[in-house]
Amino acid sequence: MEFPEELRYSTSHEWVRTSGAKAVCGITDYAQHELSDIVYVELPDVGREVEAGEACAVIESVKIASDIYAPVSGKVTKINMQLDAAPETVNADPYRAGWLFEIEMTDPAEADGLMNAEEYKAHTEVETH
């Protein structure tokens, strides 16, 4: 199970990679493993304003549909169009090719309030028990 050091994590299993005010977001290795076979990804419209904690995407696996929550507030500026034809990329490479959307953060410091890799790893261990 991967927990890249340079990322920040939400309690609902999203990750954030920041550079300046830009935040690339996706779901964690833990989350993709829980979901298993992802067959469809519904991404937010580019231009949509989101609040941290707001449901803004849906990932469907064979068995179930899961809401994905914006880990930070801002405007959606980019979405990963590759997932349309290859949703299983999220399973195969959740932190890189499987990124979901990019947000232009209203407050660039907001990501600092999320968990670091160690805290998130501990969080997943609590959830399992």
Partner 1 sequence: MVKHGNARPTPLYDTHLALGARMIEFSGWHMPIQYSGILAEHRCVRENVGIFDLSHMGEFDVQGPGARAFLQELLTNNLDRAHPGKALYSALCNESGGVIDDLLVYQRADDDYLVVVNASNIEKDFEWFQQHCVDGVALANRSYEVALIAVQGPQASAVVTPAVTRPTDDLYYYEFRPDEIAGRPVTLARTGYTGEDGFEVYVRNDGAQAVWDTLWKLGEPLGMRPVGLGARDTLRLEMGYALYGNELDETVNPIEAGLGWVVSAKKAFIGSDVILPLKKGGTPKTLRGLKLQGKGVPRRHCPVKAEGKQVGEVTSGTVSPTLSEPIALALIEAEAVKEPLSIEIRGRDVPASLADVPFVPSNVYRRPRPA
Residues that bind partner 1 (CB under 8 A): 36-37, 39-40, 42, 58, 60, 62-63, 65, 84, 88
Residue 79 phi, psi (nearest 5) = -130, 155
Sign of CA dihedral 117, 43, 100, 20: negative
Question: Alpha-carbon distance 85 to 90, whole Å?
Answer: 12
Give 81's DSSP letter: G
- Give me the helices (H) in the chain, please: 29-35, 89-92, 117-128
d(CA 9, CA 125): 14
For partner 1, which is the closer residue by CB, 6 or 84?
84
In angstroms, give the least distance from the CB of 64 to partner 1. 9
Residue number, 88 or 104, with CB nearest to partner 1: 88
Which amino acid, one-letter code, is at 114?
Answer: L
CB of residue 57 to partner 1, shortest distance in Å: 12
3-class SS of residue 83: helix
Using the minimum distance from each CB to partner 1, give the nearer residue, 36 or 82: 36
Least separation in angstroms between CB 42 and partner 1: 7
- Nearer residue to partner 1 within complex by CB, 42 or 93: 42
User: In angstroms, what is the minimal distance from the CB of 81 to partner 1?
Assistant: 13
